[in-house]
Structure 1
């Protein structure tokens, strides 16, 4: 979840930059390889369409992520659904949008639905993408059929009792403290995060870090600050669609905070309780990128949710 990202990046702020790598690098085994039926732009956001029949699914990656996050999920569902994978401005080699990043991303997602005349799409978001999905569903309650959020919550975990002005101040302070010196330092932060919080397998973590390091460091910090400053709990009652919140759980990590699988599920449920139709499920053992640690369990949970709509 986003709280882990902040903690991991704070710890990594003093990490030495990577040594120069050899010029020739083998292909990244987690890079996007699924060829879309169509690729197009919506504002500063890139969209890849897979499949051409069934209800639309809009897959929204999280912080510093691109379409490579959703390869397994897209393969699972493109036969029965029309899958749209978006890459947000500032991520995976794309230039940031001017102004506030979260607002620009939300405008682009709304434009995608409107210009493509998508009827009752389901929003599937990871982390920050889940936050965007919840926000969009609250603003377009009659247009959205369902929301799946993987480790993305309506309020920054641990900050739920902060007043708005203090939340904003802390957001700006965190962004300043975590600003990397250069792109190499940012890459080191990404490796540290992926190894400490992102996924269970260290070799996989290193490969994923190379992909997330393709994002713009300034945009990543701006997204983080804007997300930390948000509190969507008052907007949740407006969501008319069913919501599925998937909570990853890894006991060695959670035990440091005295969290069992049940207590983590209960805590997540308390933060999203204002949504009228919400279900919380846990996936274990998995870290923040649960779709890599437990792809079958995540896809099964999404499939069960979609079948019930």
Structure 2
């Protein structure tokens, strides 16, 4: 990181810390033009903010960008209490404390879910939303009529299984999962390193929290124009492109004016697998 980026990160961090009572639910790296339009980038489960390095290079010269890494992920110290709820509240406080006017919020996977939750609960704070392969109700993908109680039961069982693995099984499971989510082996290994640096309890709790929530009705409160980019090629055994597109359309039905695009050459980490396709869609959306 360059010296100006370090100074900016420290300054933003101090401003955030002064407004927060609880332990920080994320760390922030700030870069770009101080007078540029603000953009906040949120990575997914067990990922570092470095997953956005290419995106930062693309957009964060003229723009002022705030790249998060959530607590407990990729070596950032974990916090007590629910990560998603705490991160949402602290991010709202961070936007207010730093006087960020209508920032663009970009979120991947769990980070996309957090972005949707923030925009639904604090609609006046968000200018535009860019959601990278994330859904309002992940547990409802195969069971659209799933109940809240069933979601929570499914999430609790998954949490128990995740925490019940020994270290070797945990690492093997992460590697297997990442190879379905990312095409390039170098990128797989990089993401694996972030996962191994993450706090296992935080990861399991956050994943269970994600699986146990349903925002399909809540997103009707979002005022920000929203671009959603989904992927499907890694999951061909579970359905066709048309079926996955229909799932996205169904889950985002309550969000007025949402734009949904499906990547045909990228797995879950679209920003790593097909960044040019992603940048083209974002460029058109931000015009």
Fold in common (TM above 0.5): yes
Structure 1 residue ranges without an equivalent (≥5): 1-32
Provide closer, same or farther for how the CA distance between residues 126 and 34 of structure 1 changes in structure 2, counting only shifts above 3 A: farther
State the match for 1:240 in structure 2: 223
Distance 2:285 2:48 in 1: 24
Q: How far apart, in 2, do the equivalents of 1:239 and 1:112 lie?
A: 19
Q: What is residue 173 of structure 1 aligned with on the other side?
A: 157
Other structure's SS at 2:124 match: coil
Q: How does 1:226-305 map to 2 (within 5 A)?
A: 226-250=209-233, 253-260=234-241, 262-305=242-285
Taking the TM superposition and a 5 Å limit, the aligned residue runs for 1:126-205 are 126-156=108-138, 157-195=141-179, 197-205=180-188
Q: Aligned partners of 1:160 and 1:177: how far apart in 2?
A: 23
Relative distance call for 1:90 and 1:178 in structure 2 (3 A) is same
Higher fraction of helix: 2
Aligned residue pairs total 271
Cα distance, 1:238 vs. partner?
0.7
Residues 129, 225 of structure 2: 8 Å contact kept: yes
Q: 174-183 or 75-84, which moves further after superposition?
A: 174-183
**Cα RMSD after superposing both structures:** 1.7
**TM-score (ref. length: structure 2):** 0.89
Query: Is 1:247–1:281's contact at 8 Å kept on the other side of the alignment?
Result: yes
Q: CA–CA distance in 2 between the matches of 1:232 and 1:46? A: 26
Which of the numbers 25, 29, 33 marks the counterpart of 1:44?
Answer: 25
Per-residue deviation at 1:110?
Answer: 0.8
- 1:206-259 CA distances to partner (integer Å, 9 max, x unpaired)? 232122221111100000000011101111111111111101232xx3331131
